[in-house]
Amino acid sequence: MKIFINLIVTLMIFFASACQSKTEAPLAENIEQQTPTVLLQKDEGLSASRIKTWSKRGYKSIIENLFGEALENNEDLRNYVDAVQQVQNTWGDSAKAIHSFMHTNSDYFRDANRLVNLLSDSILKKETKKYFTAVKNEYDKTVKQDSVLLQTINKKDVNLTDQNTLIKLFVTAKMIKQYQENEHPSKAPLHAVIKQYDSLITQANNFKK
């Protein structure tokens, strides 16, 4: 709940600061009052590269399309998404390097243990195993902090992913509300159809007299 409240406050500050620019304020206000283009044209080509970062299901739903349009119209949001993509790419490259390093060492110690067990002399085997156990323990100490850092970053990545989902939901909620306000069909045709039904029902009753 605390994270959710903090995110709401952050979003309020984010959008409030985005409206402070005197040169862009009229245009931004005009865009905010317009019906989202994707809901009128169903254009699935907007912000395809950036949407891909935020959607892991392999398809673009109506929310993905709305968010893509929001990216096109909001430079601050666009810069934020680019920053997210950059840090996630950096995290992925760093994690890949560490995992590769650990995998190489794991392979080595596995093979070393196999060869040690092939030694025929029991005393020599015992001494050699003791040596490599010490080497393995020293290695484990050096990478212990690496594992802690990887776990910390992974938790932060999960946290950021959740917050990005909330950003997407709140940004698009504002857009769908504008669509509802601008594009709600008139009730007049429905009332006209009701009157036509009433008239036809009256005519039908006349044939039964």
Assess if residue 209 is contained within a domain. no
CB 61, CB 28: distance < 8 Å = no
What domain range includes position 133?
A: 2-185
User: Mean pLDDT for each consecutive 10-residue tract of the chain (209 residues)?
Assistant: 51 50 48 76 46 50 92 95 93 91 96 96 96 97 93 94 96 93 92 96 87
Assess if residue 199 is contained within a domain. no
Single-letter residue type at 36: P
Residues with Cβ within 8 Å of 194's Cβ and at least 6 positions away in sequence, in order, are none
Query: Domain total for the chain?
Result: 1
Could you give the CA distance from residue 38 to residue 9 in angstroms, rounded to a whole number?
28
pLDDT for the residue 29:
52
Assess if residue 198 is contained within a domain. no
Single-letter residue type at 167: I
Cα angle 63, 19, 169 (rounded to 5 degrees) comes to 20
pLDDT for the residue 6:
54
Cα torsion angle, 10, 86, 160, 48, sign: positive
Assess if residue 116 is contained within a domain. yes
Assess if residue 196 is contained within a domain. no
Cα torsion angle, 76, 77, 81, 84, sign: positive
Q: Map tokens 């709401």 to a residue.
A: 8
Assess if residue 208 is contained within a domain. no
Assess if residue 190 is contained within a domain. no
Residues with Cβ within 8 Å of 68's Cβ and at least 6 positions away in sequence, in order, are 38, 46, 47, 48, 50, 51, 60
pLDDT for the residue 36:
78
